[in-house]
Amino acid sequence: MTVVQYARCFNGIFIREMLRFVNQYGRFFSALVRPLVWLLIFAAGFHAILGVSIIPPYRTYVPYEVYIAPGLIGMIQLFNGMQSSLSMVYDREMGSMRTLMVSPMPRWYLLTSKLMAAVLVSILQVYVFLLIAWFWRIRPPSLGVPFGYVTVIPALVLSGLMLGALGLLLSSVIKQLENFAGVMNFVIFPMFFASSALYPLWKMRESSPALFHICSWNPFTHAVELVRFAFYGQVSLLSLGVVVAYLFVFLALAIYGYDPSRGIIARRGGPGGPPG
């Protein structure tokens, strides 16, 4: 296989993902409605009574809506990763995944290309959200307006890949499309609420040490912190290491799960689902 063939394969998967995204208007708006509801209603209601003290990466006190913005960005990427994985379950039930998996390309490359294409779509959604949040004065600090919007890109890629790989892993485990919504509720909401997306970890340490340790091990916490620091032109080495570690673990398990000879897919008669 040549580099040109690998590039053509990725281009085809990316175009397919973009066409699916463009044709599904509800997916675009639903990805923005959830964080905007939190930003415009929930954060506005707590603006007068909640503030965040000076903690890294902030150099001064910040209003609550500024603090939760990285968590809302993580919410967009988390839901987009799950929606992309939902399409994998749908393709498997419809049999179209068999067409993808029987190509001569390595299976790990096909899954990684699907994951990367979904991440690029989620980044577009994130920047639309940041454009709307700009009118609520949620912007990078005085390092220059474009600076934070550029430095956050690597963090968005890594966090999106990690959360998308988790979705891929779940799609390799779930047998039927109807079961995916229930699994999403048991994964998305605990990950979101048991994280630093809505409140600092030191607040949780004061109220519940057990919850603090759960949040500290939550991969979504470190995805949010990675984005938070990158938005301010800084790097959280701990969060970077945790996100990369979880990314490799989730992706390796997902690739194994989609292996027709050894993984979970092998128990269902191949990538197209169980034989009829």
Residue located via tokens 């912190």:
225
pTM over 0.95: no
User: CA 143, 149, 155 angle in degrees (round to 5)?
Assistant: 110
> Which residues, 6+ apart, have CB-to-CB distance to 96 below 8 Å?
272
Confidence of residue 123 (pLDDT cuts 50, 70, 90): very high
Residue 275 is assigned to a structural domain of this protein: no
Which of 30, 78, 59, 85 is CA-nearest to residue 197? Answer: 78
* Contact criterion met (CB below 8 Å) for 274 and 250: no
Residue type, 209: P
* Cβ atoms within 10 Å, residue 93: 16
pLDDT in tens, 77-113: 998 888 777 777 766 666 556 666 666 778 788 888 8
Residue 273 is assigned to a structural domain of this protein: no
More confident residue, 42 or 128: 128
Structural domain harbouring 215: 3-268
Confidence of residue 274 (pLDDT cuts 50, 70, 90): very low
pLDDT in tens, 178-225: 666 677 778 888 899 899 888 888 878 878 888 899 999 999 999 999
More confident residue, 109 or 159: 159
pLDDT in tens, 213-263: 999 999 999 999 999 999 988 999 999 999 999 999 999 998 888 776 654
* Contact criterion met (CB below 8 Å) for 244 and 257: no
* Contact criterion met (CB below 8 Å) for 156 and 223: no
Highest mean pLDDT among 63-67, 109-113, 134-138, 163-167: 163-167
Kindly report the average pLDDT of the chain as a whole number. 80
Burial of 270 (0-12, 13-18, 19+ CB in 10 A): middle
Instruction: Give dist(CA 43, CA 198) in Å, integer.
Output: 10
Instruction: Give dist(CA 233, CA 230) in Å, integer.
Output: 5
Count structural domains, the chain.
1
Q: In Å, how far are 18, 157, 257 from 161, measured between CA atoms?
A: 17, 6, 17
Residue 276 is assigned to a structural domain of this protein: no
Residue 18 is assigned to a structural domain of this protein: yes
Checking DSSP bridges between strand 51-52 and strand 62-63, what pairing results, if any? antiparallel
Strand partners, 52: 62
Alpha helices in the chain (DSSP H): 3-23, 25-37, 43-46, 64-94, 96-101, 107-134, 145-173, 178-193, 201-207, 209-217, 219-231, 237-257
Residue 274 is assigned to a structural domain of this protein: no
Evaluate if residue 269 carries a pLDDT over 70: no
Whether a cis peptide bond, with omega within 30° of 0, leads into 70 is no
Residue 207 is assigned to a structural domain of this protein: yes
Residue located via tokens 């399409």:
87
